């Protein structure tokens, strides 16, 4: 089977590598606006050829849309306009805006909305690697709006990638993502900014940064091309969690400012509840 | 040599294990208010015996004070009152308040203020382990106020633990710690609180938490016994960085609220600067 991968980043590139290695497909056509990415993906043997989107769609049975979420929203209608029997899936971190855009499209049933929860703070085809998805979770959204043929095919992909599939509405997905993923990124970006504001002498950070700081700030290495569109597309949910988060920080601020030990103890003890949820 | 370790937690316990294994000392006397901790440290062979502080001081040549910072501040004067030629070091995460307390004590020179930057989100003697300190950084504060004999001995300890030593005033230490360590903990605690507020159904967190969330929230497992006193002792510096941090979060909030892509891009790109500093 031929597949097309539109967007040759960490996720699209890693999927291409893994699906070919595992024999799900034998030929991968890659499309990326960024010439360097296309060339790098060819060199790294992530893809077998590169061409225009239209050509890639014609030559493939299955298309993986793995561009930043704003690009996906922009091009998904024209992709659907060009497909006949092909199956289209996306892998974006926000779902509702994309799905709203195509809800009355005659080819809606050929599309499956998915979000494999895998990734690192690195990006581009050079970050792609085998094993990225193994034993992680992927979400399929609004599955009733996809045909059973399309759905079965996409489930097969995620089985090949050794991911656990869970099902959710696109709306619920976007709410949970804001709480469990998007806010972590804003928190890390802001932490990096604060520390760099103060620590003009980088040596202090290097010398004093224990592993605690490193893990908390790791996501601040993530790129704007991916994250600015996510923050815009999931605006409503993100503002809700951001306000809640700033509220918690202010609770810490007040407790510290008032030397209120019992309030601090309560806040920390309550936060420790996360131990029961994550190992 | 006999050493006394007052406070048998992760840091004190790990030091005892490592210093004995490497032959720096051959007998460790442990002191801890918490009976379970003392017994567990005996069972785990972290210490050879347990007794009162006064006795432990008498029997030892060197004393490691590794209690939570508020306890250290409370008991340091009485320890100094009891020592003759013994050397005392602490390992706390805040330094200025402790040092202020003893600045005119006749035995001030027997004391060396240190902060090994090592640790995990776990606590107690059962968390103690060999190798915790290797290749990490320790800070010695206000070294001119310690005698050269005491200082040389403590440097020897950190050499044995294979740590890199850097020197700083206690005041500078506390400012940098607020920025590089303490704020990371407040950020993590608050993130855990926000997510748990929303995600009443814990399965959603478990299912959707990618490794990004896990690393950002890891420090939220840290215990109140250690952190409430740190937040209180380093209040002024922590409030400064907390206000700066909340300011950055509000910058993200405004940019998202106004769909201001260029502002979001700038914030993220600036935050990416952390890549140059941390690997």
- As a whole number of angstroms, the distance between CA B66 and CA B9 comes to 7
B214 or A160, greater pLDDT: A160
Q: What pLDDT was estimated at residue A58? A: 97
* φ, ψ dihedrals at A139, nearest 5°: -115, 130
Rg of the Cα atoms in chain B: 21
H helical segments located in A115-182:
148-160, 170-177
Q: What pLDDT was estimated at residue B22? A: 96
Q: What pLDDT was estimated at residue B138? A: 95
**A203 has a pLDDT exceeding 80:** no
Q: Please report residues of A whose CB lies closer than 8 A to that of B179.
A: 194-195, 198-199
Residue A118 and residue A192 in one domain: no
From A169, A201, A223, give the residue that closes a domain.
A169
**A201 has a pLDDT exceeding 80:** no
Residue B121 and residue B251 in one domain: no
- As a whole number of angstroms, the distance between CA B201 and CA A21 comes to 37
Q: What pLDDT was estimated at residue A193? A: 94
Q: What pLDDT was estimated at residue A222? A: 92
Residue A70 and residue A164 in one domain: yes
The string of pLDDT tens digits covering residues B186-211 is 999 999 999 998 877 767 777 777 66
Strands (DSSP E) along A84-163, which ranges? 87-90, 111-116, 137-141
Residue B11 and residue B116 in one domain: yes
Structure tokens at B243: 């206000």
Where does the pLDDT of residue A260 fall: very low under 50, low under 70, confident under 90, or very high at 90 and above? very high
Q: What pLDDT was estimated at residue A213? A: 83
For residue A198, give the CATH number of its domain.
Answer: 1.10.3660.10
Q: For A259, which of B197, B223, B232 is closest by C-beta distance?
A: B232
Q: Give CA separation, A186 vs A225, B187, B250, in Å.
A: 15, 11, 10
Where does the pLDDT of residue B105 fall: very low under 50, low under 70, confident under 90, or very high at 90 and above? very high
Task: Find residues 216-275 of chain B whose CB sits inside 8 Å of chain A.
Answer: 216-224, 227-228, 231-232, 235, 238-239, 241-246, 248-253, 255-257, 259, 261, 264-265, 267-275
Where does the pLDDT of residue B167 fall: very low under 50, low under 70, confident under 90, or very high at 90 and above? very high
Residue B82 and residue B195 in one domain: no
From B129, B147, B168, give the residue that closes a domain.
B168
What element of type H or E holds A184?
Answer: helix A183-198
Q: What pLDDT was estimated at residue A279? A: 66
- As a whole number of angstroms, the distance between CA A103 and CA A116 comes to 22
Q: What pLDDT was estimated at residue A41? A: 96
Residue A24 and residue A138 in one domain: yes
Across the A:B interface, residue pairs with CB atoms under 8 Å apart total: 301
Residues paired with B49 in a beta bridge: B29
CA distance B84 to chain A (A): 33
Closest B-chain CA to A118: B210
Residue B161 and residue B239 in one domain: no
Closest A-chain CA to B263: A228
Q: What pLDDT was estimated at residue B90? A: 98
Structure tokens at A255: 């407790």
Q: B184 is in which domain, residue-wise? A: 173-277
Mean pLDDT of B242-246: 97
The string of pLDDT tens digits covering residues B29-74 is 999 999 999 999 999 999 999 999 999 999 999 999 999 999 999 9
Residue B75 and residue B109 in one domain: yes
Where does the pLDDT of residue A216 fall: very low under 50, low under 70, confident under 90, or very high at 90 and above? confident
CA distance A147 to chain B (A): 25
- Is residue A162 a contact partner of residue A116, using CB atoms and an 8 Å limit? no
Taking the Cβ of residue A196 and every Cβ of chain B, the question of whether any pair is shorter than 8 Å is answered with yes
Q: CA quadruple A198, A199, A205, A207: dihedral positive or negative?
A: negative
- As a whole number of angstroms, the distance between CA A212 and CA A165 comes to 31
The string of pLDDT tens digits covering residues A226-251 is 999 999 999 999 999 999 999 999 99
B250 or A277, greater pLDDT: B250
Mean pLDDT of A128-142: 95
**A206 has a pLDDT exceeding 80:** no
Residue B129 and residue B187 in one domain: no
Residues paired with B5 in a beta bridge: B30, B64
Q: What pLDDT was estimated at residue B272? A: 95
Q: What pLDDT was estimated at residue A211? A: 65
Mean pLDDT of B243-256: 97
- Is residue B50 a contact partner of residue B41, using CB atoms and an 8 Å limit? yes
Residue B1, number of CB atoms within 10 A of its CB: 13
Mean pLDDT of A99-123: 93
Q: What pLDDT was estimated at residue A202? A: 67
- As a whole number of angstroms, the distance between CA B113 and CA B95 comes to 7
Mean pLDDT of B112-128: 90
The domain tally of chain A equals 2
Residue B67 and residue B204 in one domain: no
Residue B158 and residue B28 in one domain: yes
Q: What pLDDT was estimated at residue B78? A: 96
Nearest to B119 by CA among B227, B256, B40, B203: B227
Residue A27 and residue A150 in one domain: yes
From B119, B134, B168, give the residue that closes a domain.
B168
Gap between the terminal Cα atoms of chain A: 40
For residue A7, give the CATH number of its domain.
Answer: 3.40.50.720
Where does the pLDDT of residue A278 fall: very low under 50, low under 70, confident under 90, or very high at 90 and above? confident
């Amino acid at each position: 089977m031929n597949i097309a991968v539109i967007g040759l980043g960490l996720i699209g590139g890693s999927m291409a590598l893994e699906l070919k290695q595992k024999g799900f497909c034998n030929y991968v056509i890659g499309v990326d606006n960024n010439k360097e990415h296309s060339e790098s993906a060819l060199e790294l043997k992530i893809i077998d050829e590169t061409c225009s989107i239209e050509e890639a769609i014609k030559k493939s049975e299955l298309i993986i849309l793995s561009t930043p979420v704003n690009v996906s929203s922009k091009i998904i209608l024209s992709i659907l306009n060009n497909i006949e029997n092909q199956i289209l899936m996306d892998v974006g971190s926000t779902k509702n805006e994309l799905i709203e855009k195509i809800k009355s499209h005659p080819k809606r049933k050929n599309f499956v909305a998915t979000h494999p929860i895998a990734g690192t703070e690195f990006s581009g085809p050079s970050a792609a690697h085998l094993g990225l998805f193994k034993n992680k979770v992927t979400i399929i959204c609004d599955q009733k709006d996809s045909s059973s043929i399309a759905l079965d095919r996409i489930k097969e992909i995620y089985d090949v990638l050794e991911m656990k599939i869970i099902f959710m509405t696109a709306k619920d997905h976007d709410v949970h993502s804001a709480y469990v993923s998007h806010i972590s990124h804003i928190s890390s970006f802001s932490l990096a900014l604060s520390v760099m504001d103060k620590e003009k002498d980088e040596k202090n950070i290097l010398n004093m940064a224990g592993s605690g700081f490193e893990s908390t700030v790791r996501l601040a290495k993530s790129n704007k091309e991916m994250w600015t569109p996510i923050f815009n597309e999931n605006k409503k949910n993100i503002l809700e969690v951001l306000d809640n988060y700033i509220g918690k920080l202010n609770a810490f601020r007040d407790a510290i400012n008032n030397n209120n030990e019992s309030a601090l103890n309560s806040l920390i003890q309550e936060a420790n509840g996360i131990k029961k949820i994550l190992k």
